[in-house]
């Protein structure tokens, strides 16, 4: 039996005193012309400069600090699920749903990173120095369903287990240098066996992670939010956190594209100000994950202090991590964070708060959207062919002026630069 925690009585504190009129003293607010130029630049999948990103995040913070934990949204509006850095699919979403500001959008989080990471295992002979490389294998591993605090430990465990497999394979192939690429920046241990030496960091390549364009994706969405603040609503997903972005690629992408972690810091600091949920015309409750046993009412959510890193547990964590379930009541989530909640929980929450529907994201849906729990809950997923190999469709949900719902499904967009995901997986990794 799951014990129901008492709901938080924390007083909201948006820390407005740290701003001077919402923007740093002495800084000039970017003009609409500047923002339009930046958006046009970003639509071509070109990142902004570090200075431009900093200024953009500063201005976005002044917008978000004025928004609420339960941000009110008017219809018509188009509701979108996970994006996970799939930039060209985001552009396709705008093509299907309409460009801002002609269409109002509500995004339910997970703008960066992917939920899977790719581990490329390669063995290269000494001729690598002459430019000849032999590829030996690739292994795709699902993200562990564990609390964020344990993800790194699990990755390290995977590293230890695969190390033995890779060394054995190298010995069998009589190769003498080994390296890998991974969504979390691992390097090799120093290993010596039968005269074969594996030196720390030797021939370690850059990561290849799912998403590939998280920087451009989140920058574009933030720029659109700043330019059309009343037309774009961005809520927080579980990937909009410091720990998760360090594990699933956004941190490393920022390092690779900017040469330092400053841009990562600008965005992760900004993520703390994203609203936790949104409410369309007081009827459709939108959030990334799901419900919490600590939060019976929308007023409970309004009372939370959201300006912080996503905790490992508690009501704020639950809103970003929980999932609906076929079983009634509350359950322990297999993700290790948040809860599962049954139809009875969703129906009671909707009744208590005068809601007609809970709209959420957070889960891969092969058709792009899925009704569940007697239509008390709908899941929307907006990253087609997730991780560039799941084969799923994506969907967005249009809410009309009379609150009618219409779903638009779409396939992946053709990519300007197709990620290399066609390498054959050897039998020993299947």
If we measure between CA atoms, which residue out of 107, 232, 123 comes closest to residue 173? 123
* Token representation of residue 258: 């900017």
If we measure between CA atoms, which residue out of 172, 171, 166 comes closest to residue 137? 166
CA distances from 233 to 36, 71, 239, 328 (A): 18, 8, 17, 32
Cβ atoms of residues 268 and 339 within 8 Å: no
Q: DSSP secondary-structure letter at 381? A: B
What is the CB neighbour count within 10 angstroms for residue 145?
A: 13
How far is Cα 93 from Cα 71, in angstroms, rounded to an integer? 23
Query: Where in 143-235 does DSSP place strands (E)?
Result: 177-181, 191-193, 196-198, 232-234
How far is Cα 62 from Cα 270, in angstroms, rounded to an integer? 10
Catalytic residues: 239
Q: Where are the alpha helices (DSSP H) in 186-283?
A: 214-227, 242-247, 250-258, 262-271
How far is Cα 162 from Cα 157, in angstroms, rounded to an integer? 9
Total count of residues recorded for the chain? 430
């Amino acid at each position: 039996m799951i014990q129901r925690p008492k709901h938080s009585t924390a007083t909201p504190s948006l820390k407005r005193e740290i701003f001077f009129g919402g923007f740093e003293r002495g800084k000039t607010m970017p003009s609409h012309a500047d923002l339009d130029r930046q958006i046009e630049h970003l639509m071509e999948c070109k990142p902004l400069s570090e200075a431009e990103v900093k200024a953009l995040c500063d201005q976005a913070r002044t917008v978000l600090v004025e928004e609420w934990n339960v941000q009110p949204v008017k219809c018509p509006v188009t509701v979108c699920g996970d994006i996970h850095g799939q930039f060209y699919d985001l552009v396709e979403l705008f093509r299907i749903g309409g460009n801002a500001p002609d269409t109002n959008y509500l995004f339910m989080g997970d703008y960066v990173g992917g939920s899977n990471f790719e581990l490329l295992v390669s063995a290269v002979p000494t001729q690598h120095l002459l430019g000849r490389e032999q590829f030996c294998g690739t292994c795709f591993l699902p993200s562990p369903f564990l609390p964020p605090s344990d993800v790194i430990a699990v990755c390290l465990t995977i590293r230890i287990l695969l190390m033995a497999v890779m060394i054995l394979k190298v010995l069998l192939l009589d190769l003498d240098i080994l390296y890998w690429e991974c969504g979390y920046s691992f390097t090799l241990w120093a290993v010596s066996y039968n005269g074969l030496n594996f030196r720390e960091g030797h021939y370690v390549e850059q990561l290849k992670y799912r998403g590939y364009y998280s920087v451009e994706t989140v920058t574009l969405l933030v720029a659109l939010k700043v330019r059309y603040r009343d037309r774009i609503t961005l809520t927080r997903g579980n990937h909009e956190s410091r720990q998760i972005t360090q594990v699933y690629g956004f941190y490393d992408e920022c390092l690779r594209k900017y040469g330092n972690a400053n841009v990562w810091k600008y965005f992760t600091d900004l993520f703390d100000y994203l609203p936790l949920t949104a409410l369309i015309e007081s009827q459709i409750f939108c959030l990334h994950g799901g419900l919490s046993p600590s939060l019976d009412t929308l007023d409970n959510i309004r009372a939370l202090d959201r300006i912080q890193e996503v905790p490992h547990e508690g009501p704020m964590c639950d809103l970003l991590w929980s999932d609906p379930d076929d079983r009634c009541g509350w359950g322990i989530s297999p993700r290790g964070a948040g809860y599962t909640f049954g139809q009875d929980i969703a129906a009671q929450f909707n009744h208590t708060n005068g809601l007609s529907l809970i709209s959420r994201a957070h889960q891969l849906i092969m058709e792009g959207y899925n009704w569940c729990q007697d239509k008390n809950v709908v899941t929307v997923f907006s990253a087609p062919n997730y991780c560039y190999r799941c084969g799923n469709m994506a969907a967005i949900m249009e809410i009309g002026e009379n609150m009618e719902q219409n779903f638009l499904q779409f396939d992946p967009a053709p990519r300007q630069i197709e990620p290399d995901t066609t390498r054959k997986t050897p039998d020993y990794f299947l």
